[in-house]
Amino acid sequence: MKVGLVYDPIYLEHNTDPHPECARRLQETMELLEKSRVKQQLIEIHPERASLEELSLVHSADHISRIESVARSGGGWLDADTVMSPASYDVALYAAGGLLKATKAVMKGEMDSAFALVRPPGHHATETRAMGFCLFNNIAIAARQAMKEHNLDRVLIADFDVHHGNGTQDTFYRDPTVLYFSTHQYPFYPGTGSIKEVGAGEGQGATVNVPLPAWCGDEEYLQVFQQILVPTARRFQPQVILVSAGYDTHWADDISSMQVSITGLAQMVQTLKGLASELCQGRLVFTLEGGYHIPALAHSIKATLEVLLGAKDIDDPLGKPTYSRKAAGVEMIIQQVKSAHNLD
C-alpha cells in the first residue's frame, strides 16, 4: 500500500504554548513515527500554501483578511479558545495547502491513501469565523477543491473528533453532493450536532449526526460505525472519503469523557479503509483535528498509519481505560438516527 504523509516543521511555528493545541502534538508524533520506523514506510508529501482562491471556496474575504491582519499585528486571542501567533496565518495556509496536496495525490492515483499531519486544525471554522482552535476549515476547502478539480459529485466527510465539526456542517448543510457524518460527545462544545440537524433544502438528509453521551468506548463507537456509517456510505456511494481525525475520544484525554482505546480507534480506521476500498477505489484522506493527551495522540496516529499500510496487529501501549462507566441510552440514539435517515 502506498500511503502519503503531509508534514513540515512550519506547522510548529503556530506558537500557542501553553495552549492544549500546541506544537508538541506534532513533534512527539513525528518522533514516534521515526523511532518505530513507520515514517520510513510512508511517501513524504511536502505542503504548499493554499491560495486565496482556494480559501475562498469556503471562507469570506473579510474572514481571510481578518486572520491575516491579526497575525501581521503580532497575533492574539480571537475568542476564549482560539489564539494566534505572528506566523499563524502563513502556517494555516500550509495546513490547508497540505491537505489539498494530499487529496490531489490520492485523486490522481499517486498513492492509495494519505494523512495530513497539520495544524492548526479546521473543522470548527465557519465561513466567517475562527473558533475552537481552528482558523480555516481545511477539510471543507479540500472537499470543495476536489469536487472542482476532479469533477466529483459525491464526497463523504467522516468526522470522529469528540467535538462536533460545526464549521464543516455549516459549509455543506444545503449541499446534497457532500455527505457529512459526525460522531461526537453531546451536549458538548460547540453545542451543535443534534440528531435533528439533517441538512436543509436540497441537502436534506446529507448531514448525519450521531450525538453520543459521555463514557462511550470502543463497543459503542464500532456499533455506530457498523449500523449507521456503513449503510449510509453504501447508499451514498462516495467517490472519495475525507476524514476529520480527532483523537480526543481517547480515554486518557482529559478534554472529554469518552473511553475509546487506541485499538478501538484503529478498528474505526479499518472500517473507513474498508468502505473506501469497496466504494471509491480506496481513495481515503485523513487530516488531524483534535487529540490533546500527547502519548495517546502519537500512538493513535501511528496506529492509523499502520492500518493504512496494511498491518494486522496494532500496538496499544496505553491499553484499556483505567476507569470506566457504562454509557446510557446509546441504543436509543442509534435507533433515532436510523429513523431520521430511513436506515431501518
Q: Tens digit of pLDDT for each residue in 122-180?
A: 999 999 999 999 999 999 999 999 999 999 999 999 999 999 999 999 999 999 999 99
Distance of CA 37 to the CA centre of its chain: 24
CA distance 66 to 130: 10
Which residues are designated catalytic?
A: 124
pLDDT for residue 298 is more than 80:
yes
Q: What is the mean pLDDT of residues 2-16?
A: 98
pLDDT for residue 324 is more than 80: no
Q: Is residue 185 classed as helix, strand or coil in its secondary structure? A: strand
CA angle 182-288-144, nearest 5°? 65
CB 262 within 8 A of CB 314: yes
In the chain the first and final C-alpha atoms are separated, in Å, by 36
Asked whether residue 283 carries a pLDDT value surpassing 80, the answer given is yes
pLDDT of residue 320: 95
Arithmetic mean of pLDDT, 201-210: 98
Report the relative pairing of strands 3-6 and 113-116 from DSSP bridges: parallel
Cα 79 → chain centroid: 22
The pLDDT of 70-90, averaged and rounded, is 98
Q: 3-state DSSP call for residue 95?
A: helix
Contacts 24+ apart (CB under 8 A), 148-153: 148/57, 149/104, 149/107, 150/107, 150/239, 152/177, 152/239, 152/240, 153/177, 153/239
Would you say 157 and 114 are in contact if contact means Cβ atoms under 8 Å apart?
A: no
CATH of segment(s) 3-340: 3.40.800.20
The neighbouring-strand residues paired with 131 are: 134
Provide, rounded to the nearest whole percent, the portion of the chain with pLDDT above 90: 98
pTM for this structure?
0.98
Instruction: For residues 122 and 97, give the distance between their C-alpha atoms in angstroms, rounded to a whole number.
Output: 12
